[in-house]
Amino acid sequence: MKILMVGAGGQGKGHSARYQQMPGVEVVAAVDVQAELLAAFAKEYKIPNTFSSVEEAIAWGQFDAVSNVTPDRFHYPTTLPLLAAGKHVLCEKPLATNAADAVKMAEAAAKAGVVNAVNFSYRSGGAMQKAAELVRSGLIGEVRFFEASYLQSWLHQPAWGEWTTTPQWLWRLSSAHGSKGALGDVGVHIVDFATYVMDLPVADVSCRFALHNKAPGNKIGEYVLDANDSATMQVSLANGALGTISQTRVASGHLNDLRLKAYGTKGALEVSTSGELGTLTACLEADLEKPKWQSIEVAPVTDNQARFIAAIRGEDGPRAPDFARGAEIQKVLDAAEESAAQRGITINL
């Protein structure tokens, strides 16, 4: 299996290292618009071919599948030609920067008949998958209420680098650079996480944003810092369940923590993760009156990249979320953005 890496930044490294662990999978080429960075990346990961555009790579053509790990606003324009060329594509999240583009990508992928996947990477957590399985088995009955959050704090501390001087973080703060803020960057994960575990689509959403002044004139160099730092949503699910979904970059004390508490008619469960296996606890019928929460054992599961490769090979097994799912989540984000622009009015999906 010959892979083309489109984007040689942080995720380019992560995806390349992961493919290189897989038998029979080879990263044969990489594309980036930054020549020096691309050369260093190709050297580090021993990638023999490099190109400055997707079009050049397509003209060369000697690859089967692609990881698109460019910044959000480039997913749409760089993925469409790859699909038209008949290549399988695993695209980073968010699939696009708006639902209309995400739907076009899902339609193009279906038309091309290729394997398509969105890297909602927290699907790789054993606790999340076990929680999804238990909800589907009826263990907690019908979900009636929920609380979900994705907490980061990189605006308050430099664990992942100093954001004021690092393009990788600055583009995430600027709408002109295609960012939809905390909502688009990590909200996309927690909306997928929560609705996948609870197995219910969103019916309507009301959302508020917060944006803090972080630099003189809220601008650093070419980056106008106008994308939301925090977003809170009130969400109704298709069965009438109500809940909150919060996402932020200012939760001091949390580097990268996702959590869902789902309350059902027969019990409740709490799943949380910082990106690894995660933990799962439940309070079930016999324990509801006490109330006593017990740990549930969880096991590792395969990640999206392994699922993507298995799907291309036609092997049985669980699948990664596809572009249609990416577009479904994007519709929730668009509705949240529309709501926030009107100070939290309810938008129906």
Ligand X SMILES: NC(=O)c1ccc[n+]([C@@H]2O[C@H](COP(=O)([O-])OP(=O)(O)OC[C@H]3O[C@@H](n4cnc5c(N)ncnc54)[C@H](O)[C@@H]3O)[C@@H](O)[C@H]2O)c1
Where does this chain bind ligand X (CB under 6 A)?
6-12, 31-34, 37, 69-72, 74, 78, 92-93, 119, 121, 168, 185
Our CB check for ligand X shows the closer of 113 and 161 to be 161
Say if CB 277 and CB 125 are below 8 A apart. yes
In terms of Cβ atoms closer than 10 Å to its own Cβ (0-12, 13-18, 19+), residue 98 is middle
Our CB check for ligand X shows the closer of 3 and 134 to be 3
We find the least distance from the C-beta atom of residue 41 to ligand X, in angstroms, to be 8
Our CB check for ligand X shows the closer of 169 and 263 to be 169
We find the least distance from the C-beta atom of residue 290 to ligand X, in angstroms, to be 37
Our CB check for ligand X shows the closer of 236 and 304 to be 304
We find the least distance from the C-beta atom of residue 289 to ligand X, in angstroms, to be 39
Return the closest-CA partner of residue 320 out of 78, 28, 18, 23. 18
Our CB check for ligand X shows the closer of 206 and 228 to be 228
What is d(CA 328, CA 349) in angstroms, rounded to the nearest whole number? 10
Return the closest-CA partner of residue 337 out of 208, 199, 169. 208
Percent helix / strand / coil, the chain, rounded to 5: 40, 25, 35
At residue 270, the 3 state secondary structure works out as strand
Q: Which helix (H) or strand (E) holds 116?
A: strand 116-119
What is d(CA 318, CA 16) in angstroms, rounded to the nearest whole number? 22
Angle at 52 between CA 48 and CA 58, to 5 degrees: 75
We find the least distance from the C-beta atom of residue 91 to ligand X, in angstroms, to be 8
We find the least distance from the C-beta atom of residue 262 to ligand X, in angstroms, to be 22
Give whole-number Cα distances, 258 to 130, 144, 148, 203, 327, in Å.
Answer: 15, 20, 8, 22, 21
Our CB check for ligand X shows the closer of 185 and 270 to be 185
Using CB atoms, what's the residue nearest to ligand X?
9
What is d(CA 85, CA 4) in angstroms, rounded to the nearest whole number? 13
We find the least distance from the C-beta atom of residue 38 to ligand X, in angstroms, to be 8
We find the least distance from the C-beta atom of residue 106 to ligand X, in angstroms, to be 17
Our CB check for ligand X shows the closer of 54 and 283 to be 54
Instruction: Report the helix count and the strand count for the chain, using DSSP H and E.
Output: 11, 17
Say if CB 203 and CB 256 are below 8 A apart. no
We find the least distance from the C-beta atom of residue 117 to ligand X, in angstroms, to be 11
* β-sheet with 294-295: strand ranges across: 294-295, 279-284, 267-273, 256-264, 143-152, 242-248, 230-237, 202-210, 347-348
Give whole-number Cα distances, 296 to 131, 195, 208, in Å.
Answer: 9, 20, 35
Our CB check for ligand X shows the closer of 31 and 134 to be 31
What is d(CA 103, CA 122) in angstroms, rounded to the nearest whole number? 22
Our CB check for ligand X shows the closer of 134 and 155 to be 155
We find the least distance from the C-beta atom of residue 271 to ligand X, in angstroms, to be 17
